[in-house]
Amino acid sequence: MRAVKFAGAAVAAVIIVIALLLVVGIPSGFLTSTIASRVENATGYRLSIDGTTKVSLWPTLNVTLNDLTLQDPKDRSGITRLTVDSVQADMTLSSVWSGRPKISELIITHPVLYQPLLRERLPNANPSPTPAVPLGIDGASIDRIKVTDGEVAFSRVRDRVEGRISAIDADAVTSRDRKVDFTGTARAGENPIKFDIKATAPAAPIERQTVPVDFAIDMPSVLTSQLKGRAEMRLNGPIVMINSLSGTLGDGTFNGWASVDIASKPLVKVDLDFQRLAIPLSKSPESAATQPWSNAPIDVSGLNYIDAQIRVSANEAAIGEARLAPLALDAKLAGGVLKASTANLGAYDGQVSGEVILDATSGAPSFAMHSDLVGVRALPLLKGLADFDRIDGKLQAKLALRSAGTSQRALMANMQGTAFANFQDGAIRGINVAQMIRSLTTGTLSGWQDSQEQSTDLSQLSASFRIDKGQAVTTDLNLIGPLVRVTGAGTIALDTKMMGFRVEPKLVMTTEGQGRTSEPVGFGIPVMIQGPWSQPRIYPDMAGMLDNPDAAYAKLREMGKGLFGPDGAGLGNILGSFGLGGSAPSGGNAGSNPNPQTQQPGQNNLLGGPLGEAIGNLIQQGLSSGTGTGTARSRSLPASPATPEPQASPAPPAQENPPAAQQDSQPMNDVLRQLFSR
């Protein structure tokens, strides 16, 4: 009887324990050593389980491990490691008893992979201790793996550099025919990523076996459309080889190959050929030209931690709004120095060749470039690359530039080099230079006075610049058009977007166009263009005119042919009436033409209209102001005396064809003082 009672108590105790286990679970810290040993034998990595471990039997067999760390035992720095907040595995109890565990779902919460950044490739980098673990090992299989809130952290403590791929949510589902569907989202910096990868996993071992892969990647902030394709992947030690790569990017197809060596510092090799390649560029706001350059730091330090060899070709390429066809670009990144070059790139009926070198090895990145453009249509190129649509024509240019800095403003302020540009057989759109010159006779202009309905035809516009510390200086600005000529010199401050030019404009007295035989007539007064390059002030340089009053007077007489009637008779009469030495040239007098400013038949009226009236009014207003005192603005003209000077005697009768050198300059000095020294 005592034995029966003891047996009944034991059975009752077992039933109670089993019931508690089904509800509460089994605290199984004693299993951690066994699990860690199995993982190290299979992968070569050391597993530490610092949190609690629990096994429950209801509703299915469930094992939960908390606070895990996986490390390479050969890594003394301890930087390379994988930390996981928790791992939960659900499986059937029958599969465990059979010795072939079948995990229906494996949930990995907040895994963080810490990866060091290397500046140099290790000479004898070894692959991982053992091949990667396949989805099935020792008869076990996993139907689904779910990753929640994962991260990949890249860092280099010495350089204080860190980068992350965060918010990784992924779901990998394996079917019975070993097909894997891997979908998820992530975020690289501020750029969201969405991916969908389908592959067929081979039987273990996976190394050196071809794995067919289909992929689709969305990066809205980088790619204009979805990147889709297929390839054949193969693992060869630490090298991932991607062969038979083909796909589509938007409406363009591509093909090529790629490889990634992850033994130490990653080495990426890519060779892609596109039918059509589209690279979006963010458009500058309309007010960008008036805003200063940004002082925001430019960080290209990431170029130090990856090496690459890239070749990209395309039958047609769209870079922003620019269209290039064909495109062939070779780039090499090694040791933090990026070199990109192109030869005979087709661009708008012309060709472009050049090279860009970006050095990111120091704290302040530096760049150098040289480029040649031949026969390129300027309007679509400049509009596509810089949203600049003011100049059209065939462009020939040579650029040799270098700079260093950590922001846009610093790069512009440190710019060095030379630049030459020549536009031929085109037009300056939205600006009528001849009209602007005529407008200068009445006042200062604020801005370019542009109008979409007007333009200035040009046969040539050229200038060469020498750039030093952000100051681009030219001495040979030259604009040649059917109705206007402009020469000049000046400086453009690249860092402050300011400009200062002194130009000599000349207007043509005929509409015969480029085939004319007559010489253009100069404005007679240098013109200053100063201020912000988007809206500068444009005004006559009066001080420059007063430097040489004799030449200015001769120029006024020459302009009088178009301003004040034939041979400048009107100008002579005006000056003669004030006793200032001016007289009507031979062949005309004040009485022969009652209206000297009236245009004669057949005479061109380009300068005889508004310009003649304006300068005539200026002279008459200046003369009618009397003999008031004033201070001369030019060192070549002495100040007017305090007492009034006597009236100049009437000029003698004019001789036939009097040379300009015989003109009396002192009366003109008085006129100019009254005009411009008030």
Greater model confidence, 263 or 134: 263
pLDDT at 67 over 50: yes
Q: What confidence category does residue 149 fall into, taking pLDDT thresholds of 50, 70 and 90?
A: very high
At 124, list the tokens.
Answer: 């004898």
Give the least confident one: 94-108, 299-313, 534-548, 620-634.
620-634
CB 468 within 8 A of CB 422: no
For residue 398, CA distances in Å to 343, 389, 440 come to: 14, 20, 34
Give the least confident one: 43-57, 114-128, 298-312, 432-446.
432-446
pLDDT at residue number 493: 93
Closest CA to 367 of 412, 419, 421: 412
Calpha distance 479→529 (Å, rounded): 15
Q: Does residue 60 sit within a domain?
A: yes
Calpha distance 121→586 (Å, rounded): 90
What would the mean pLDDT of 412-436 be, rounded to a whole number? 87
DSSP-based three-state secondary structure for 196? strand
- How do residues 170-220 score in pLDDT, each as one tens digit? 999 988 888 999 999 999 988 899 999 999 888 777 778 899 999 999 998
Give the number of other CB atoms < 10 A from CB of residue 284. Answer: 11
Place of tokens 């459309």: 225
Percent of the chain residues topping a pLDDT of 90? 30
pLDDT at 590 over 70: no
pLDDT at residue number 43: 73
pLDDT at 130 over 50: no
At 277, list the tokens.
Answer: 């390649």
pLDDT at residue number 180: 92
Sign of CA dihedral 372, 373, 379, 384: negative
Closest CA to 448 of 540, 539, 541, 538: 538
Q: What confidence category does residue 522 fall into, taking pLDDT thresholds of 50, 70 and 90?
A: low
pLDDT at 298 over 70: yes
Cis ω before 326 (30° cut-off from 0): yes
DSSP lists the bridge partners of residue 365 as none
The overall average pLDDT reported for the chain is: 74
Give the least confident one: 191-205, 552-566, 586-600.
586-600
pLDDT at residue number 411: 93
Specify the number of domains making up the chain. 1
Q: Does residue 355 sit within a domain?
A: no
pLDDT at residue number 46: 85
Residue type, 160: R
What would the mean pLDDT of 309-319 be, rounded to a whole number? 90
pLDDT at residue number 309: 96
CB 232 within 8 A of CB 243: yes
* Secondary structure element (H or E) that encloses residue 164, with its range: strand 161-174
Closest CA to 195 of 242, 153, 164, 229: 229
What would the mean pLDDT of 282-298 be, rounded to a whole number? 72
Q: Does residue 67 sit within a domain?
A: yes
pLDDT at residue number 678: 41
* Secondary structure element (H or E) that encloses residue 642, with its range: none
State the residue range of the domain holding 169: 1-174
Q: Does residue 651 sit within a domain?
A: no
Calpha distance 460→393 (Å, rounded): 9
pLDDT at residue number 332: 96
Calpha distance 443→540 (Å, rounded): 9
Strand-strand pairing, 144-156 and 102-116: parallel
Distance of CA 57 to the CA centre of its chain: 61
pLDDT at 643 over 70: no
Greater model confidence, 124 or 34: 34
Give the least confident one: 190-199, 227-236, 550-559, 565-574.
565-574
Q: Does residue 539 sit within a domain?
A: no
What would the mean pLDDT of 537-544 be, rounded to a whole number? 72
Closest CA to 588 of 602, 578, 603, 600: 600
Greater model confidence, 71 or 134: 71
pLDDT at 588 over 80: no
CB 66 within 8 A of CB 86: yes
At 316, list the tokens.
Answer: 């047609």
Greater model confidence, 513 or 170: 170
Q: 48 Cβ partners below 8 Å, 6+ apart?
A: 36, 68, 69, 70, 71
pLDDT at residue number 228: 94
Residue type, 418: T
pLDDT at residue number 550: 60
Question: What pTM did the predictor assign?
Answer: 0.71
Q: Does residue 611 sit within a domain?
A: no
pLDDT at 547 over 50: yes
* Secondary structure element (H or E) that encloses residue 622, with its range: helix 610-624
pLDDT at 546 over 80: no
- How do residues 356-385 score in pLDDT, each as one tens digit? 999 999 888 999 999 999 999 888 877 766
Give the least confident one: 100-104, 107-111, 136-140, 531-535.
136-140
Closest CA to 243 of 262, 258, 224: 258
pLDDT at residue number 101: 76
DSSP lists the bridge partners of residue 81 as 71, 114
Distance of CA 300 to the CA centre of its chain: 14
Q: Does residue 49 sit within a domain?
A: yes
Give the least confident one: 47-51, 57-61, 442-446, 576-580.
576-580
Q: Does residue 58 sit within a domain?
A: yes
pLDDT at residue number 7: 53
pLDDT at 242 over 50: yes
Calpha distance 179→174 (Å, rounded): 6
pLDDT at residue number 151: 94
For residue 554, CA distances in Å to 34, 248, 477, 545, 660 come to: 107, 71, 25, 12, 6
Give whichever of 31-40, 490-499, 626-635 has the largest mean pLDDT. 490-499
Q: What confidence category does residue 568 fall into, taking pLDDT thresholds of 50, 70 and 90?
A: very low
pLDDT at residue number 561: 44
